[in-house]
Amino acid sequence: MAQLTYREAVAAAMAQEMRRDPNVVFLGEDIAAAGGVFKTSVGLLEEFGADRVRDTPISEQAILGATMGAAMTGLRPIAEIMFSDFFAVCWDIVANEMAKTRYMTDGQVTLPLVIRSGNGGGSRFGAQHSQAVENWAMAVPGLKVVAPALPGDVKGLLAAAIRDPDPVLFFEQKSLYATKGEVPDGEYVIELGKANVLRSGTDVTIVALALMVPRALKAAEQLEAEHGISATVVDLRSLVPLDTQTILAEVAKTGRMVTVEENPRLCGWGAEVSSIVAEELFWDLDGPIVRVTTPHIPLAAADSMEDAMLPNADRIVQAVRQLVD
């Protein structure tokens, strides 16, 4: 096992798949000689050359148009949209073209492509560069949506996404890029749509994604040490496919669920998970489902305001205590 940062795991996954398959290519702004604005592609140009690691103009529409064409004609492209907020300027290609091509051609044309993007807040980039937009993607049929929290999962899930026959949006939480963790050596792939139970407890199940996973784990430790409350923590890892079996099994064990999401509250993924649990486990629940979210307002750039808006361990602890006590 190697100790890699989250950003190094991104590069490791792409290198693994580019070595394995000569049809894997990579497109985006400043990804080649610069190694990516978040330094997630350092070394790829030197190893694979300018034919397979290509800088593009500053045009998200051009990047994704080229990516879609490449996928339609036999390549397996990876595209980088620098900030996930910028999906707003190329959403037609994603939601109306990529997501529907396989369906509208009756399977004659598949699009094995990945769009990677820096997602979410916590890095003081302001309202136009800090949105968590995975719920935008989750709402579009035909897209797979992945958002890892741990460096090992970054490598395994990105490799699986690159091998997938359908479009995958791969959201990398910007505030996690510097975090370190164990990453398996050699070829490593994690099946999409499998949640990970990071901690088992008896009193409440906390369901989290991306940046909220380490915060949920911290909250679980505080709950155990300070309040005697035993919490399970489930890292969803992907929203589409969604591992409903693991969610339902873990909530059934504890009888209580708290979802923790970075999305604004209105139409966040926690609402969908809550709906599924309420329908399937109503008689197993010992209390109401609780959602911890960001308020439905643009994210602030000021340090203290951004920190106050994003869910943190203290807010999770408070929510759990109100549910359990």
Give yes or no for a contact between 27 and 71, defined as CB atoms under 8 angstroms apart. no
Mean pLDDT (the chain, rounded): 97
Torsion angles phi and psi, residue 311, rounded to 5: -60, 140
Name the pLDDT band for 252 (thresholds 50, 70, 90). Answer: very high
Put the strands of the sheet holding 290-294 in their side by side order: 196-199, 231-235, 204-208, 257-264, 290-294
3-state secondary structure of 146: strand
Give the whole-number percent of the chain exceeding pLDDT 90. 99
Distance separating the N- and C-terminal Cα atoms of the chain: 41
Give yes or no for a contact between 183 and 151, defined as CB atoms under 8 angstroms apart. yes
Q: 325 pLDDT exceeds 90?
A: no
Domain regions of the chain by residue span:
2-183, 196-324
According to CATH, the superfamily of the domain at 2-183 is Thiamin diphosphate (ThDP)-binding fold, Pyr/PP domains (3.40.50.970)
| Average confidence (pLDDT) over 97-120 | 97
- CATH of segment(s) 196-324: 3.40.50.920
Give yes or no for a contact between 293 and 263, defined as CB atoms under 8 angstroms apart. yes
Q: Model confidence over 202-216: pLDDT tens digits?
A: 999 999 999 999 999
Q: Model confidence over 256-292: pLDDT tens digits?
A: 999 999 999 999 999 999 999 999 999 999 999 999 9
Q: How many CA atoms lie within 13 A of 304 on its CB side?
A: 0
Put the strands of the sheet holding 24-28 in their side by side order: 53-55, 24-28, 76-83, 114-119, 168-173, 144-146, 238-240
Specify the pLDDT at position 253.
Answer: 98
Q: How many CA atoms lie within 13 A of 228 on its CB side?
A: 1
Q: Model confidence over 34-74: pLDDT tens digits?
A: 999 999 999 999 999 999 999 999 999 999 999 999 999 99
* CA-to-CA dists, residue 143 to 82, 239, 263, angstroms: 19, 10, 18
Q: 254 pLDDT exceeds 90?
A: yes
What is the DSSP annotation of 27-68?
EETT-STT--TTS-STTHHHHH-TTTEEE--S-HHHHHHHHH
| Average confidence (pLDDT) over 180-194 | 97
Specify the pLDDT at position 1.
Answer: 84
Query: pTM score, two decimals?
Result: 0.97
Quote the CA–CA distance of 142 and 111 in Å, as a whole number. 10
Q: Model confidence over 300-323: pLDDT tens digits?
A: 989 999 999 999 999 999 999 999
Specify the pLDDT at position 117.
Answer: 98
The dihedral sign for the CA sequence 118, 146, 52, 11? positive
State the virtual CA torsion across 146, 151, 153, 158 in degrees, nearest 10.
60
| Average confidence (pLDDT) over 227-255 | 98
Quote the CA–CA distance of 231 and 209 in Å, as a whole number. 16
Domains 2-183 and 196-324 share a fold: yes
Is 296 one of the catalytic residues? no
Among the listed residues 7, 116, 129, 144, the single catalytic one is 129
Name the pLDDT band for 23 (thresholds 50, 70, 90). Answer: very high
